[in-house]
Structure 1
Amino acid sequence: MERDERELRGAWTRYQRHAFHSPSPALSPWVERYWEARWDYAEPYRQKIVPYPNVHLSFGGGRADVNGVCGGYQIKVLEGRGHVFGVAFRPGCFRPFLGASVSTITDRVVPATEVFGPDLPMAPDAPAMDAFLLARLPDDDDRVRQAAAAVELIAEDKALTRVERLAAELGLSTRGLQRLFAEHVGVGPKWVIRRYRLHEVTARMAAGGAIDWAALAADLGYADQGHFIRDFKGMFGEQPTWYAQRYQAAGSGPGPVSPSTRPDAPR
């Protein structure tokens, strides 16, 4: 299968520009970052988006949407010139804004006015979103903090590969942990663990050099390489060796790629 040259070794950065902004400190317990994406394509480009467990509020093309966590990758076709501004909420922290279980919007896109009302600014920047969200700060919630801490632990502890261990670390039963994630994160703890451990794979791709796939699968807690490949393909839509070509020039080995320009960098 022939590859689109624009997706190899960060070539897409010639056509796209991404920027990230910090929210007001008072919003930081709920909002991870603001982000912007601009693109200019003479020919349509199939942008692969690989999810993290963030809910996003996005503005672009004359509409505003709340994007629930997706269980797998998505393809968005970019063409012409475009711009999107977004709010990435911290994993586990969107429920107070939604007023319902976050699992109710998993794999869904909801008109943002259904969640935030008609006063939502339709062409915002970071200061405008700060003002809008600061006026709607939720009350402190122990369960929100617990869910956020659980996801942070998964992200930071690379040796954490089992749901049972996470439950023990948090002092919860496995079932209690699953309920916490359904209510506040929108996907299960097993999915979140798998997503962050597979991030380790793309980090190694970006670092360059040969990869021992069997050893890497074992390091990530997989019983065998076949299960690792199945999970990777389910999340990224491609075999690991095929996906690795996004980090290398045709006919060469993997080369270093800036974290901000990785194909799976958080959007």
Structure 2
Amino acid sequence: MGADPGPPRGVLHQRLEQGTFEHARRAPSAALAMLVEHYWYVAWDLRGLPAQQQETLPHPNVHYVIEPGLTAIYGVHSGRYVRMLEGQRRVFGIKFRAGGFRPFYGKAVSTLMDSSMDASTIFGAPASRFEQTILASDSFDAMIDAAETLLLARLPPHDATVAQVSALVADIATDRSITSVEEIAARSGLGKRSLQRLFNEYVGVSPKWVINRYRLHEAVAQLQAGTPIVWSELALQLGYFDQAHFIRDFRKLIGRAPGDYARSQDRH
């Protein structure tokens, strides 16, 4: 398997105030690298402690999640994901690469936005056995091995468009200079409407959504780093026309103004 993909982005509370929390990620094998971004595992132990709220800004990816009572394939979540953590739990997930679930699904990934589906719809009877294996395992490595076996047995025909879409989304995520749909359209060689249809079919959200989400990911990362920030400069750097628009978008998605969020990170 590949190495740890590095620290996650978009997790709004990086530490629990009490209890223990574990988060691990691992890249897939070479045979699945064009379809799967990574496998992930989270576990927490808050027994005897108050429940704690965790919030994330989801990426433009489909996830196959294994958790008692909540196992399903989840489409892109458009808003902030909020989860109350309590008791003791373990969760395993497969994060498909942007565009990587489309060959398994066979239709527009946008039809899964903000919704979920039974995994047996895609993987048949082996999905139930896979869930049982994951829930019975105490080893992240063993969980990954089971996931690889399941996916390789249902490996879809090669789709060259997946690589094109994944590369465009990766460019948006890593290149801070991309702040408009026109810029990504120019890189792709597609017109804006063709680009929007491509993202609707393969990613599940629009290119504008992806750009907005990743520039807010960048804003969160900078605030978490604790470095001094000039709000007007940060807004311009992220492609906003003015500070007011940046604060409005940040507040709408994060649930608080940038300054309030920065102060909450200082307290933690």
Pairwise mapping of residues 255-266 of structure 1 onto structure 2 (< 5 A)?
none
Mapped to 2, the partners of 1:106 and 1:8 lie a distance apart of 24
Deviation at 1:14, TM superposition (A): 4.5
Higher relative contact order (CA 8 A, sep 6+): 1
Mapped to 2, the partners of 1:160 and 1:9 lie a distance apart of 27
Is 1:72–1:234's contact at 8 Å kept on the other side of the alignment?
no
RMSD of Structure 2 on Structure 1 (CA) = 1.7
Whether 1:133 aligns to 2:138 is no
Is 2:16–2:52's contact at 8 Å kept on the other side of the alignment?
no
**Structure 2 length-normalised TM:** 0.86
Is 1:8–1:248's contact at 8 Å kept on the other side of the alignment?
no
Is 1:58–1:87's contact at 8 Å kept on the other side of the alignment?
yes
Deviation at 1:209, TM superposition (A): 2.4
Whether 1:38 aligns to 2:43 is yes
Aligned residues between the structures: 244
Return the match for 1:23 from 24, 28, 34. 28
Deviation at 1:19, TM superposition (A): 1.0
Is 1:10–1:246's contact at 8 Å kept on the other side of the alignment?
no
Is 1:163–1:190's contact at 8 Å kept on the other side of the alignment?
yes
Pairwise mapping of residues 136-175 of structure 1 onto structure 2 (< 5 A)?
136-175=154-193
Mapped to 1, the partners of 2:227 and 2:195 lie a distance apart of 38
Deviation string for 1:62-119 (max 9, x for gaps)?
A: 4421111011102111110001000001111111111211000001122222232221
Is 1:64–1:113's contact at 8 Å kept on the other side of the alignment?
no
Letter in 1 for 2:151: L
Is 1:9–1:249's contact at 8 Å kept on the other side of the alignment?
no
Deviation >6 Å, runs of 4+: none
Q: Relative to structure 1, is the Cα distance of residues 242 and 116 closer, same or farther in structure 2, using a 3 angstrom cutoff?
A: farther
Mapped to 2, the partners of 1:88 and 1:10 lie a distance apart of 22
Give unpaired runs (5+ residues) of structure 2: 1-11, 135-142
**Structure 1 length-normalised TM:** 0.86
Letter in 2 for 1:211: I
Is 1:9–1:248's contact at 8 Å kept on the other side of the alignment?
no
**Could you tell me the percent identity over the aligned residues?**
44
Is 1:57–1:65's contact at 8 Å kept on the other side of the alignment?
yes
Residue number in structure 1 paired with 2:94: 87
Is 2:50–2:86's contact at 8 Å kept on the other side of the alignment?
yes
Residue number in structure 1 paired with 2:76: 69
Whether 1:49 aligns to 2:56 is yes
